Amino acid sequence: MENGAVYNETTEPEAKPRSRRPFGCTLRHLPGWRLPAKAVQAIFSFVAVTCEEIVEDCSSCGGLYFFEFASCSAFLLSLLILCVYCTDVYETLGEEKVEK
């Protein structure tokens, strides 16, 4: 007991602080063609929402309302995907939770 074998270090060495990127932006999770594809998807869905808002009168508005819902949902989801994959949120949540 007196040789110190019982007593081990109980604290872990201090971790090095992570270097923070400005605004937390990173492009490594959307490599190659995926980033431009998501950006184009966001632009097209925004244009679709804008074009739908231009329509003033319609005789059968059910299809127009569905188009509005679909294009607005696509725009918001593509922005969400861009925000998650291009910021530190991806590392904060973890790859497993993001894929779910």
Give the CA radius of gyration of the chain.
24
Provide the number of structural domains found in the chain: 1
Is the pLDDT at 75 greater than 90? The verdict is yes
In a domain, 10, yes or no: no
In a domain, 55, yes or no: yes
In a domain, 2, yes or no: no
Is the pLDDT at 22 greater than 60? The verdict is no
In a domain, 81, yes or no: yes
In a domain, 48, yes or no: yes
In a domain, 67, yes or no: yes
CA-nearest of 40, 43, 44, 58 to 66 is 58
Total length of the chain: 100
69: containing domain: 32-96
**47: confidence class by pLDDT, cuts 50, 70, 90:** very high
In a domain, 9, yes or no: no
Q: What is the pTM (predicted TM-score) of this model?
A: 0.66
Over residues 52-71, the pLDDT tens digits come to 888 888 888 888 889 999 99
